């Protein structure tokens, strides 16, 4: 072990200590403080589980998680099967389409749905105009609406992971089942589904845990009695009622513990149950079936339905982006470019901040991620596995936990939160694993046999590295860069805790313009702009390294 590696390791650990462990430990310490005394203890946790209100928020959140998971699974399973198995036209475009909700902030979709399905939204207004109903129907406000929007947002995770699972299955296993006489549905239930359960679980965990991290969408839909929303209200609005504040922090810690716990449990389960290692005859595409006309038709119909649902959000945002005051009318009537003029000319600050913060976060990410990837994959420095473990854990940590812990840790003592550098710093920490995961994934795809083949063919090791390894790695690194940028660009749940006047980013601008102001047009234009920027970036990613993306997302990845 060289001194250089040790040096890198020490620096990386120092960064982790200062920006991850130090702030997060504040969260634990604060949650143990007993209000009105100088003592520490588990009293707050006991209070939490004794107080009927907090207990209610806990069960509500659990219920929401289960409902969202059931909904996404019911709708995602057929879709994943169709995408993975049937020979259909337009599959590629559709796959790109279905990625769209992931990269948009969930609440932007919520706003679009309110315009469409709200009590005075397009659907209700049309129904009332046609005389079908005399009073508006409540389509979305309440738990059902929350399940709908969250399921729509999270559907891609289930579809991506399941279709990766269906593709990875060794066709010979299913063929064997068929030969033994298990046809059709029975084969699907007894062979196919169990085989892709690890893949399903990877996606399902992200879906199930989402309600434990998303506090904003419930507030928009008027469902406050959930763990993260209550935590947000307790922490963001109370500064002197210490017991309340601590209870908020306890809620954050409990959410985090559930997220990390379930994440780790599923991870270890997935690693134990990987069936793909057995496979021999699998192809890149997996098993593709030519469907009969009826199945084909219903598949297209199903894809069309989901496609419409997914496209609703960008279409509605687009319409409102080019209109003004689209209120109490089924469709916009006044078309304008003013919203964009405002964003680009009068308040270019948000756009500038978004790019600047994401770019600085990206630089931090690369400066940290490249040596970390190198250290983890190519050296034997002690503690590197722990390093990897901590970084991976950041995938599961709710944004609210990062935001709150940063406020607690970097206010007095190390007053970083008074400087705008806290914004890119927190983005960097929140999206810490992204770059690393991509680098990892590309290392995993860089099969050692390729290098060996090159050497057997007579190339020197140096030449092998530059001609074979490096180009393959670069692709992954580039995809990692873009994905990191996208995820930093759309981050809000941490940033909203830390921003001060003049540090607003585009996602915060969408929130402020919709939720605190009156201008949905501007919010819509901002969201539309985000969709365009992110979609262009996604296209670049898809062109350059779709396979790597699938590998990093489909198997055990996730972003929250």
Partner 1 sequence: MIHPLPPSLKGKRANKKEETRMDWRRVFTFAVLMTLGLFLVHVQAAEKVGWVGPVYKELSDSLMKGFKEYYKRTYGKDIEITFVRPGGWPVCVDKVRAWKGKPDADVFLGAGAPAFEVLEKEGYLVPYKPKDWDKIPDKWGGMKVKDEKFMWTCFAPWIVTNLYNERVLKALKLPVPKTWKDLLNPIYREYIVQTLPYASGTQHEVIEIHLQSFGEKEGWAYNRLLAAQLARFSTGSVDTTHMVSRGEVPIGIAQPQMNAMSARADGYPVRDLLPDKTILVPEAVGLLKNAPNEANAKIFLDWLFSTEGQKYVLEGRYFPARTDIKFSVWEKEGVAMAKHAKEALGVDSFWDLKVGFINYDLELATKRWDEVNRYYEMEIYRKWRELKSSLFLIEEVEGEIEAAKKKGVDVSKADAKIKEARKLFEYDGAYAQARLAASEARTLLVASTR
**Site map 19..58 versus partner 1, x via CB under 8 A:** ----------------------------------x-----
Q: Tell me how crowded residue 315 is: count the other CB atoms within 10 A of its CB.
A: 14
Q: What residues pair up with 335 in beta bridges, in sequence order?
A: 323
Select the span of 177-185, 202-210, 371-379, 539-547 touching partner 1 (CB under 8 A). 371-379
Q: Which two tokens stand for residue 254?
A: 């409990």
Q: Tell me how crowded residue 341 is: count the other CB atoms within 10 A of its CB.
A: 11
What is the DSSP secondary-structure string of 449-472?
A: HHHHHHHHTT--HHHHIIIIIHHH
Tell which one of 39, 66, 180, 241 touches partner 1 (CB under 8 A): 241
Task: Tell me the closest approach of the beta carbon of residue 448 to partner 1, in angstroms.
Answer: 5
- 456 near partner 1, rule: CB under 8 A: no
Tell which one of 41, 90, 222, 348 touches partner 1 (CB under 8 A): 222
- Nearest CB to partner 1, comparing residues 280 and 516: 516
Tell which one of 18, 70, 128, 312 touches partner 1 (CB under 8 A): 128
E strands within 375-487? Answer: none
Tell which one of 77, 96, 119, 177 touches partner 1 (CB under 8 A): 119
- 118 near partner 1, rule: CB under 8 A: yes
Residues 384-403 that bind partner 1 (CB under 8 A): none
Task: Tell me the closest approach of the beta carbon of residue 89 to partner 1, in angstroms.
Answer: 37
Contact 334, 320 (CB under 8 A): no
What is the biggest distance separating any 2 CA atoms in the chain, rounded to whole angstroms?
A: 81
- Nearest CB to partner 1, comparing residues 100 and 432: 432
Tell which one of 155, 376, 395, 522 touches partner 1 (CB under 8 A): 376
Residue for token pair 């462990």: 21
Contact 137, 127 (CB under 8 A): yes
Tell which one of 370, 473, 537, 542 touches partner 1 (CB under 8 A): 370
CA 550-494-436 angle, 5° bins = 35
| Chain centre to alpha carbon of residue 381 | 31
Residues 158-217 that bind partner 1 (CB under 8 A): none
Residues 413-452 that bind partner 1 (CB under 8 A): 419-421, 440, 443-444, 446-448, 452
Q: Tell me how crowded residue 50 is: count the other CB atoms within 10 A of its CB.
A: 9
Q: What residues pair up with 20 in beta bridges, in sequence order?
A: none
Residue 146's alpha-carbon distances to 36, 226, 517, in angstroms, are 37, 11, 22
User: Interface with partner 1 by CB under 8 A: which residues?
Assistant: 2-5, 7-8, 11, 53, 114, 118-120, 128, 135, 141, 219, 222, 224, 236-241, 325, 327-328, 360, 363-364, 367, 370-371, 374, 376-378, 419-421, 440, 443-444, 446-448, 452, 461-462, 500-501, 512, 515-518, 520
């Amino acid at each position: 072990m060289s001194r250089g590696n040790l040096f890198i390791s020490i620096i990386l650990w120092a960064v982790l200590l200062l920006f991850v462990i130090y702030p997060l430990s504040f969260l634990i310490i604060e949650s143990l403080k007993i209000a009105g005394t100088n003592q520490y203890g588990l009293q707050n946790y006991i209070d939490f589980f004794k107080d009927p209100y907090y207990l209610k928020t806990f069960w509500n959140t659990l219920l929401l998680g289960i409902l969202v998971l059931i909904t996404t699974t019911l709708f995602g399973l057929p879709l994943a099967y169709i995408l993975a198995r049937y020979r259909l036209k337009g599959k590629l475009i559709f796959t790109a389409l279905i990625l769209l909700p992931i990269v948009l902030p969930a609440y932007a979709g919520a706003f679009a749905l309110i315009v469409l399905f709200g009590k005075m939204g397009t659907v209700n207004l049309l129904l009332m105009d046609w005389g079908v109903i005399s009073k508006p129907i409540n389509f979305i406000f309440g738990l059902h609406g929350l399940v709908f929007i969250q399921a729509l947002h999270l559907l891609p995770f289930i579809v991506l992971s399941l279709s990766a699972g269906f593709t990875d299955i060794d066709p010979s296993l299913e063929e064997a089942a068929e030969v033994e006489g298990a046809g059709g549905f029975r084969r699907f239930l007894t062979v196919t589904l169990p085989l892709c359960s690890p893949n399903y679980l990877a996606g399902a965990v992200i879906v199930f845990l989402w309600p434990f991290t998303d506090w904003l969408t419930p507030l928009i839909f008027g469902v406050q009695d959930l763990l993260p929303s209550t935590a947000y209200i307790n922490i963001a609005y109370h500064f002197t009622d210490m017991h309340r504040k601590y209870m908020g922090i306890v809620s954050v810690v409990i959410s985090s513990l559930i997220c990390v716990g379930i994440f780790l449990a599923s991870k270890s389960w997935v690693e134990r149950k990987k069936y793909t290692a057995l496979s021999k005859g699998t192809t890149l595409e997996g098993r593709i079936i030519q469907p009969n006309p009826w199945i084909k038709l219903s598949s297209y119909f199903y894809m069309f339905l989901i496609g419409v649902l997914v496209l609703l959000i960008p279409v509605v945002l687009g319409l409102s982006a080019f209109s003004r005051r689209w209120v109490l009318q089924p469709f916009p009537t006044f078309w304008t470019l003013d919203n964009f003029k405002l964003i680009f000319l009068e308040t270019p600050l948000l756009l500038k901040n978004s790019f600047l913060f994401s770019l600085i976060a990206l630089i931090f990410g690369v400066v940290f991620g490249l040596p970390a990837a190198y250290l983890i994959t190519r050296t034997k420095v002690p503690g590197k596995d722990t390093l990897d473990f901590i970084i991976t854990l950041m995938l599961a940590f709710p944004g609210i936990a990062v935001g709150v812990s940063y406020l607690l840790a970097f206010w007095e003592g190390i007053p970083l939160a008074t400087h705008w550098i806290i914004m890119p710093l927190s983005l960097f920490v929140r999206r810490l694993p992204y770059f690393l995961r991509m680098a990892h994934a590309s290392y995993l795809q860089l099969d050692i046999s390729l290098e060996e083949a090159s050497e057997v063919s007579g190339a020197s090791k140096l030449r092998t590295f530059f001609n074979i390894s490096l180009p393959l790695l670069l692709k992954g690194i580039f995809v990692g860069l873009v994905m990191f940028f996208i995820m930093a660009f759309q981050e809000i749940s941490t940033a909203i805790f830390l921003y001060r006047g003049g540090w607003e980013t585009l996602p915060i601008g969408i929130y402020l313009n919709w939720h605190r102001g009156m201008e949905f047009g501007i919010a819509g234009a901002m969201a539309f702009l985000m969709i365009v920027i992110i979609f262009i970036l996604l296209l670049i990613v898809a062109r350059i390294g779709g396979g790597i993306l699938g590998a990093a997302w489909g198997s055990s990845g996730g972003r929250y």
